[in-house]
Amino acid sequence: MPTGIAPVRLLDPDSAAELIAAARTLLTSHDGSATAPGLLAEVPAVAASLSDSIRHACRPVDTPDGLFVLRGLPVDDAAIGPTPGHWSTAGNAGAVYDVVLLLLSTVMGTPIAWEGQQEGRFVHNIVPSPGHEEEQTGASSSVLLSPHTEDAFHPGRAHLLVLGCMRNPDSVATTAAGIRNVELSDSDVELLTRPVLPILPDDAYEEAQGYAGEPPAVPTLWKSEEGLTLRFDPAYTPLEKAPEDHRAAYGRLEDGLARVSVAVSLEPGEVLVVDNDLVVHGRVPFKARYDGTDRWLKRSSVRVRDRRTRPPAEQAEHGYGQAAVEAHA
């Protein structure tokens, strides 16, 4: 796996302390529950009051890499408790960082949740779980999590993906590759901007996988005003149904993304922000111990209003019956 240096933005100690204090104040007002409706309702006002230095650190992704790492948040390993064995048992473990991610996400845009994933939570716990080792989901461990667009099957997917690291003792790397760093021929771009194949719902959306509607064919690439964007999830794309020239172009795209991929091994307190229209992300395999010390990330998804990075035709898709909910709608 190629390694590279992801762009880094530093939170100064005062800004980090400001974020943690704001999150703790919100939690204290809502019995320590990061999922309390009243807390969610208060997040926009608190986010709007944050200092300019925090807002500057959360400015839009501004390099062709399509990502950055926000560094400087402290994490008390003992205070957050053991790594949960499954997202459903996490409860309020590390809840202050749930709220920190909500605040950061609200500065960047509007957090979204999925009715059909992790019980509609706006911040997900990403942990290895027994019995899920070989899935293509965040609960896996022993297999390569293939590079993909987050929630690629859905037209309402996030514009930004935010991953906050709670624990990563084995330096397990998140992989990332930006489409604007890939060299493709004009003919391959032309082929891949045609809507030929659907992207099917992944294993985290069991209800969507049973949806009765016809899967819509979607383009893999799109020429936006600012450059190429992509919608990519080979693990859930029936490539065997495509014409040979399309499969070949898709394969060259996969190879190109692999060549420009970087491996980002997050440390506790680091937050990786990925532009979901420009960058595919994945994860290298690792051996889970299930002893409370495994890798633990928190994830939020963000929509950015008035972005023109997707084909207008997406608006007519059925989304396999799945609905995204905006935190501040």
CA distance 34 to 20: 13
pLDDT tier at 53, thresholds 50, 70, 90: very high
Element (H, E) at 161: strand 160-167
Query: Domains plus CATH for the chain?
Result: 8-305 (3.60.130.10)
CA distances (Å), origin 200, targets 27, 85, 96, 138, 206: 37, 27, 34, 17, 11
The per-residue pLDDT for range 286-305, each reduced to its tens digit, is: 999 999 999 999 999 999 99
pLDDT at 70: 97
CA distances (Å), origin 77, targets 25, 309, 317, 318: 21, 39, 43, 43
CA distance 176 to 155: 21
Closest CA to 299 of 327, 261, 271: 271
DSSP collapsed to 3 states, 55-75: HHHCCCCCCCCCEEEEECCCC
**Average pLDDT in the 30-55 region?**
95
Instruction: Give the residue with greater pLDDT, 98 vs 137.
Output: 98
Planar angle of CA 176, 106, 19, nearest 5 degrees: 90
**Average pLDDT in the 219-238 region?**
96
Closest CA to 158 of 173, 144, 167, 148: 148
Q: Does residue 2 surpass a pLDDT of 60?
A: no
- 106: Cβ–Cβ under 8 A, 6 or more apart, which residues? 43, 44, 47, 327, 328
pLDDT at 4: 54
For the chain, the average pLDDT equals 94
Hey, what's the torsion of the CAs at 174, 97, 49, 271, to 10 degrees?
-10
Tokens of 116: 């059909």
Closest CA to 161 of 182, 172, 147, 143: 147
